[in-house]
Amino acid sequence: MNITRREAIKLSLAGGGVLLSPFGFPSIASAQLSPQILRFQLPFKVPPVLKPQRSDDTTDYYEIKIQKSAIEILPGLKTEIWGYNGISPGPTIRQRGGKRSEGGRFSKVRFINQLDRDAQGRLINHVIHLHGMASLPQYDGYAIDYIPPQYFKDYIYPNDRAATLWYHDHTLDFTSRNVYMGLAGMYIVEDEYELNLPLPKGDYDVPLIIQDKRLAKDGSLIFDDNNQRSVYGDVILVNGVPWPQMQVANRKYRFRVLNASASRNYRLILSQKPDAQTSGERLIVIGSDAGLLDAPVELVAPLQGLQIGMAERYDIVIDFSKYPIGSQVYLRNVGFSGTIDNDVRTHAIIRFDVVRQEQDDSIIPNQLRPVESLRDKPIARTRNFRFERNNGQWKINNLTWDSQRVDANPQPGDVEIWELVNPGSGWVHPVHIHLVDLQLLDRNGLPPRPYERGWKDVFLVGEFETVRVIAQFRSRDQRDIKGKFMMHCHNLVHEDHAMMTQFEVGQGGPDPVTTAPALPISQIAAL
């Protein structure tokens, strides 16, 4: 009898047996399943917005404590998480950015590590990376720039352009575990230009942080990286809530979607049926990792689902005005090649219940924000980076992470093309390049998807795929920044073992570890 892989997974779920994936390690179907709960019963939550402790003429000052806490993820069970201010996801920072003459401000964020030790008795070091920010090297979250327990560090962020960013742990060898335990939060920068657009605002501009987890019968988190390959869960959380239901008005909402999963990719569609693989519903994409697109992109399910790899962000608009009061609309994950999905549990994400009527003065403009093309600028050079697994290790150009080695040295202001190559199958690699915002030129010579044509900092490199990207090595506000920065796969297990390298812009930049080291809590002064 011939059965499909999907049928095999279903049989494994039904029988509780072990199923090996085509790549020789246990699939998620073979692992212990999380306790069963009914989907779409728990109310949607929005992470709290963090208020600055104080502000002056140029800067807002924030403080975040990195803490262990026990929270209720599954009803009736307590789960230990490691969270920013003891919650997961952490509090959202909403900051005014852009030109200083137009109200743009700096942020100074103090992170205090109160985590102590893990279950094996090891100190839990921490590193903060504000993903997508053009930070100086000493504030970028270099993987060995540790904040030990009972230490703190102040990070300064320029907020150089409007975008949906996120902050998360970046500790060498332990990023996947630390983020999985809860260390992630959203950071939103808005500027005068974007605020003047008639897009949904205020309560109708909503973070959607998607993660997958696996929990034991006692509620504890199960971290299993499948022999250093990937971490997959069977409970989908949105803003920390499993399969929530959100009550909405019959109007437009802007959702800032972040894939904060350690290893899972998603392909998102909108549907009026909870388990449908096909649908004629529409998502409208207005922004990608590093800001608004030039024009909105309408996706009609199922053929035009929104692929979102680990660490990618997309801003979408859903117009609920077309649905009568009492309607239910589902955001679903239908998966794609190179991912592993549990058919029963990981395809549903969130249900929207249209419960009230409201006036809506928001509009999706035909022109959002002009995107300056880098294609016509003089190209200094082209580089090639291969992402593959051999001899049991994840490698870039057949090398693993070495803090003493620099694999590219662009000069400030140079424009370069980087070829990101995945020569095999079974894995997709979401490649994150620090410091710069980039543009996607092509995939295997074909044009990028319409929603990938803006500024980005993560690029999903599929099976047997070469993705060409272009960058100018300075910040978007034209600051020349020198120093060392990382590039890595954002499947966090791959990053930890050790698919990461570094490049250095120019020469003589500040050392990312010694320039602004963490200090003991005993030396804390007022912000």
235-249: per-residue pLDDT in tens? 999 999 999 999 999
| Average of per-residue pLDDT across 123-133 | 98
> What are the b/e assignments for 113-123, b being 16+ CB within 10 Å?
bbbeeeeeeee
pLDDT bracket for residue 346 (50, 70, 90): confident
Other CB atoms within 10 A of residue 436 CB:
23
Measure the CA–CA gap between 146 and 125, rounded to whole angstroms: 6
* Selection from 225, 132, 151, 143 nearest residue 181 by Cα: 225
Which pLDDT tens digit goes with each residue over 186-233? Answer: 999 999 999 999 999 999 999 999 999 999 999 999 999 988 999 999
Q: What single-letter amino acid sits at 293?
A: L
CB distance 200 to 107 below 8 Å: no
> Which of 276-285, 293-302, 336-345 ranks highest by mean pLDDT?
293-302
Parallel/antiparallel/unpaired status of strands 252-259 and 93-96:
unpaired
Q: Is the pTM here over 0.85, yes or no?
A: yes
Q: Are 179 and 169 in contact (CB under 8 A)?
A: yes
**Burial of residue 352 (number of CB atoms within 10 Å: 0-12, 13-18, 19+):** buried
What would the two tokens of residue 45 be? 């939550």
State how far the Cα of 386 lies from the Cα of 400, in Å rounded to an integer: 12
Nearest to 222 by CA among 234, 211, 237, 239: 234
Average pLDDT over residues 378-406: 96
Is beta strand 500-505 parallel, antiparallel or unpaired with respect to 483-489? antiparallel
CB within 8 Å of 416: residues ≥ 6 apart? 379, 380, 381, 382, 383, 410, 470, 471, 473
Q: If pLDDT is split at 50, 70 and 90, which confidence band does 16 have?
A: very low
Closest CA to 349 of 247, 440, 221, 237: 237
Cβ partners under 8 Å of residue 7, min gap 6: none
Q: Name residue 12's amino acid.
A: S
pLDDT-based confidence at residue 348 (cuts at 50, 70, 90): confident
Whole-number pLDDT of residue 51: 98
> What token pair was written down for 129?
């990376």
Q: Give 503's strand partners.
A: 485
Tokens of 175: 């990023």
Beta strands in 122-231 (DSSP E): 128-131, 151-157, 163-169, 184-190, 205-213
Residue percentage of the chain with pLDDT more than 70: 91
- Distance between CA atoms of 8 and 2, rounded to whole angstroms? 10
Task: State the pLDDT at residue 21.
Answer: 34
User: b/e per residue, 331-346, with b = 16+ CB within 10 A?
Assistant: bbbbbeebbbbbeebb
- Residue 120 confidence class, pLDDT cut points 50, 70, 90: very high
Displacement of CA 526 from its chain's centroid (Å)? 32
Please, which pLDDT band fits residue 426 given cuts at 50, 70 and 90?
A: confident
Q: How far apart are CA 125 and CA 517, in angstroms?
A: 13
How would residue 172 be classed by pLDDT, with cut points 50, 70 and 90? very high
- Provide the β-strand partners of residue 323: none
**Residue 241: C-alpha distances to residues 94, 291, 425 (Å):** 21, 26, 33
**Of the candidates 162, 151, 135, 189, which has an alpha carbon nearest to the alpha carbon of residue 65?**
151
What residues contact residue 521 under an 8 Å CB cut-off, 6+ apart?
112, 150, 151, 152
Is residue 325 within 8 A of residue 357, CB to CB? The reply is yes
What's the number of CA atoms in the CB half-sphere (13 Å) around residue 454?
A: 24
pLDDT the model gives residue 340: 57
Q: Which amino acid is at 262?
A: A
Residue 339 has a pLDDT of 57
